[in-house]
Structure 1
């Protein structure tokens, strides 16, 4: 019964003060309607995009030098990187400059807190975060729907530009490293070439395999002719039937081949012919330098090819994000929700009015003057 009596007392108090409650709610209703009508309409434009895989800028993938399967979309780390870029001050400051947000938001750009205020104002109207589908959802609110769409697309393009710049910055450093390496190896190759030419000129060795084969052939032919001439001379020299001219001719051939063998075996100080002794002396040195020169040319050629591949990738416009939805001019406002503001205000006014009435009814029998007087010191 006590609980029922308590509820009855509550309803009785509300009924007694019903006109006051009604008047308060009506005042709040009219005031909230007027206040909500004074609020500006804001329109939200949204663009959605996924991160592109940084591997798309890999020269091996561009030129097909790898069997790795191409991943067109980035990983969670790439998504986090784009999220950080989208919320960076660089993007915000770019938007402030591009769209003149100091004037648009009526903020004094010359004040000490001007930059802080314009950033905070923009951040309240700007949101870039991962959605439930693991994409970046970038939204901007503005009183001008067309400008909201332009700002959202511009912010997305700036995020793409910064992400590309980070990748191209790494490629640029790699290109600088290759340029230094190519320059150094070119100088080394020139030194090796000069040293090789000096040795080739000193030993008359310009083609190791061909000259070696040629010397071997000449020496073998000379030895063979010497043996043959000696054998013919031994058989024919004591034969009275053989003319002396023939014998002299054979002797002359023998001397010629012996001299040829001697010139092949020992270098002629006054001649420039290549001897086997000279060839054997210079062969190790020329072979080593020839091999070093070949390896240096091969490595330099590889570095130049690699440099050209990286430079081609650097000059290629490879997007850092994959756009799913471009921001379009919003047709409906995103806020304020005037009906919600009015209803919430009236409900709050009713609840606080009832609470105030119940408190007043509960303590109306108290003699506050006597209570205050009793608390005062004698």
Structure 2
């Protein structure tokens, strides 16, 4: 109440200041361009669950992200400088923001700062990501928001894509190595079969055993009959059937030795063959999956052109300007009155 007399004395100045503030703020408010906001909402996913290798081989399922590391990773990608530079070049924001030409350091820095001010990426209370782009062109704002979501998705996929490229090289090298091992094992097995005459036929062992038994029986009969000539021939035949130096291709000694060797070689051959088939299957699967792209985010809401402006709130600008001017005017005239009062009091004391 003590200020009312002061305000009354200076009412013309106060009213002039308030009126001028009203007119200027009204002019500025209507000169400011309309700013529109477009928002896209999406959930990030765990990169491991979107890896095609895991989905194909392990039957994995897509899992929506709610983990702190997934949310932080997506926000970090969206706010990174490479993403901002890509968006600036794709939409020619140098011209749109009127900051200069590409290649100029100041123009590039101004464009980055302008884009950063118009971008907002936050983690909401429902574990989703809200990506908002502001611009005076509502259609451009929506396009930029949707494109930025795609860019984030693409970069997020690269986290597994680069690893898969390295893995497919390992699969190919492993398959090539096993192919050489397979050929070597096959050649060793074939050479052993040729050397020892063991081809794995059912009647090989039965034939040798039958011939040995029959020859030995005939030898015993010849010895019993006293037929030395026949017995000598049967002894040579028996030696050929039982000893490697007897001259027979099929003999018990070579067959047994070859059978033991071929059993080991066949086991090795079978193992390499199984591993080679698995390696070829893994390589073919890797080649198939590396060309497949599974989205690393789940878009809940795409960005659409805004139906109304987000700012400026012109009435708020005018009202706040008038109120601030009124308060500053009152402070100014109050200080002026106090100064005059102190000055008059000092003059009176000097007169006394």
Instruction: Give yes or no for contact 1:225–1:257 (8 Å, CA) kept in 2.
Output: no
Which of 73, 84, 93 in structure 1 is aligned with 2:85? Answer: 93
Paired residue for 2:296? 320
Paired residue for 1:262? 239
Paired residue for 2:64? 73
Quote how far apart the aligned CAs of 1:33 are: 0.5
Quote how far apart the aligned CAs of 1:153 are: 0.6
Query: What is the alpha-carbon distance in structure 1 between the residues aligned to residue 145 and residue 234 of structure 2?
Result: 94
Paired residue for 1:214? 204
Q: Residues 68-119 of structure 1, C-alpha deviation per residue, up to 9 Å, x if partnerless? A: 7x35212321121111111111211111111111111112224231211110
Distance change (3 Å), C-alpha of 1:64 and 1:286: closer
The answer to whether residue 174 in structure 2 is matched with residue 181 in structure 1 is: yes
Paired residue for 2:350? none
Secondary structure, counterpart of 1:46 in structure 2 = strand
Paired residue for 2:272? 296
Instruction: Give yes or no for contact 1:45–1:148 (8 Å, CA) kept in 2.
Output: yes
Instruction: Give yes or no for contact 2:41–2:129 (8 Å, CA) kept in 1.
Output: yes
Query: What is the alpha-carbon distance in structure 2 between the residues aligned to residue 257 and residue 343 of structure 1?
Result: 129
Q: How many pairs are equivalent?
A: 344
User: Structure 1-normalised TM-score?
Assistant: 0.81
Query: What is the alpha-carbon distance in structure 2 between the residues aligned to residue 234 and residue 161 of structure 1?
Result: 91
Paired residue for 1:225? 214
Query: What is the alpha-carbon distance in structure 2 between the residues aligned to residue 263 and residue 269 of structure 1?
Result: 4
Query: What is the alpha-carbon distance in structure 2 between the residues aligned to residue 227 and residue 177 of structure 1?
Result: 59
Paired residue for 1:374? none
Quote how far apart the aligned CAs of 1:313 are: 2.4
Paired residue for 1:130? 123
Paired residue for 1:43? 36
Query: What is the alpha-carbon distance in structure 1 between the residues aligned to residue 121 and residue 294 of structure 2?
Result: 22
Quote how far apart the aligned CAs of 1:293 are: 2.1
Query: What is the alpha-carbon distance in structure 1 between the residues aligned to residue 99 and residue 82 of structure 2?
Result: 19
Instruction: Give yes or no for contact 1:55–1:71 (8 Å, CA) kept in 2.
Output: no
Distance change (3 Å), C-alpha of 1:65 and 1:112: closer
Paired residue for 1:11? 4
Larger radius of gyration: 1
Paired residue for 2:14? 21
Quote how far apart the aligned CAs of 1:192 are: 2.7
Unaligned runs of 5+ in 1: 1-7, 239-247, 372-378
Paired residue for 1:348? 324
Instruction: Give yes or no for contact 2:46–2:296 (8 Å, CA) kept in 1.
Output: yes
Paired residue for 1:146? 139
Which of 354, 363, 374 in structure 1 is aligned with 2:339? Answer: 363
